[in-house]
Amino acid sequence: MTPDRINKEGRFDSFDNGEILLNKKKNHLPPMGWNSWNAFGSNNTEALTRAMVDKIKELELDKLGYKFIVLDDGCYKPERVNGRLVSDEVKFASGFNAMSDYVHSHGLKFGMYNDIGDRLCSGAQVGTCGYEDVDAQSYVDWKVDFMKVDNCYYLWDNATFSNPENARYTFAPNIKAVKIDGKEYSAVKDGKVTGFVGKVEKDYVTFLGTFDGTGPDASPLEVRSSELVFEVEAEEDKTVSLAVEYATGKKEGVGEWLELAVGEDIFFDDFVEPTESEETFVWSRDFEVSLKKGVNIIRVMNHRRQENTLNSYSRFLRELNKLKPDHDIIYSACEWGKTHPQNWAYKVCDSWRILNDITFRVGNDGDPGVGNWKDDYTPSVTSQYNKAVIMDEFAGLDKGWNDPDMLMIGMNGLNDTQYRTHMATWCMMNSPLFLGLDLRRVKKGDALYQIIANKDLIDLNQDALGVQAKRVFSSLAVERPDKEYIRDINRVDILCKPLSGGDFALCFVNVSEEDKKGEFSVDVKELSKIFAGIKSAGSYEVKDLWTKEVTENTTGVFTVKELPACASVTLRITPKN
Partner 1 sequence: MTTDKFAEYVLAEHERLLSKTSTDIARAADRDYLVSGISQADLQAPVTRKFAAVILHRAMQRLTREEDEDWGIAKGFRDIYDCRVCANAVAQVAVKGILPPETNNFFGMTDILTDEKVSETIIRLYNKSQRITKLLEL
Which spans of this chain sit near partner 1 (rule: CB under 8 A)? Answer: 41-43, 73-74, 78-79, 88, 90-91, 119, 121-125, 152, 160-161, 356-357, 360-362, 364, 367, 370, 377-378
Using the minimum distance from each CB to partner 1, give the nearer residue, 358 or 494: 358
Instruction: Single out the residue of 206, 283, 210 nearest to residue 249, CA to CA.
Output: 206
Closest distance between partner 1 and the C-beta of residue 403, in Å? 15
45 in Cβ contact with 87 (< 8 Å): no
> CB within 8 A of 339, min separation 6: which ones?
157, 210, 213, 305, 306, 309, 310
Closest distance between partner 1 and the C-beta of residue 376, in Å? 8
Closest distance between partner 1 and the C-beta of residue 122, in Å? 5
> CB within 8 A of 94, min separation 6: which ones?
46, 87
Closest distance between partner 1 and the C-beta of residue 375, in Å? 8
Using the minimum distance from each CB to partner 1, give the nearer residue, 73 or 307: 73
Q: Strand, helix or coil at 223? A: coil
Cα angle for residues 523, 529, 532 (degrees, 5° grid): 115
Using the minimum distance from each CB to partner 1, give the nearer residue, 253 or 481: 253
Closest distance between partner 1 and the C-beta of residue 112, in Å? 15
Q: How far, in whole angstroms, is CA 92 from its chain's centroid?
A: 29
Sign of the torsion formed by the C-alpha atoms of 400, 402, 405 and 409: negative
Using the minimum distance from each CB to partner 1, give the nearer residue, 151 or 225: 151
Closest distance between partner 1 and the C-beta of residue 214, in Å? 8
Q: Strand, helix or coil at 530? A: helix
Closest distance between partner 1 and the C-beta of residue 252, in Å? 13
Bridge partners (DSSP) of residue 97 are none
Using the minimum distance from each CB to partner 1, give the nearer residue, 441 or 480: 441
Using the minimum distance from each CB to partner 1, give the nearer residue, 162 or 312: 162
CB atoms within 10 A of CB 83: 8
Closest distance between partner 1 and the C-beta of residue 332, in Å? 16
Closest distance between partner 1 and the C-beta of residue 131, in Å? 15
Using the minimum distance from each CB to partner 1, give the nearer residue, 138 or 160: 160
Q: At what angle do helices 304-323 and 132-141 cross, to 10 degrees?
A: 50
Distance, CA of 10 to CA of 281 (rounded, Å): 31
Cβ density class 44-71: b for 16+ within 10 Å, e for less? bbbebbbebbebbeebebbebbbbbbbb
Using the minimum distance from each CB to partner 1, give the nearer residue, 382 or 553: 382
Distance, CA of 481 to CA of 491 (rounded, Å): 12
Using the minimum distance from each CB to partner 1, give the nearer residue, 173 or 337: 337
Distance, CA of 348 to CA of 351 (rounded, Å): 9
Widest CA span in the chain: 78
Using the minimum distance from each CB to partner 1, give the nearer residue, 201 or 365: 365
The three state secondary structure string of 320-362 is HHHHCCCCCCEEEECCCCCCCHHHCHHHCCCEEECCCCCCCEC
Q: Strand, helix or coil at 299? A: strand
Closest distance between partner 1 and the C-beta of residue 246, in Å? 29
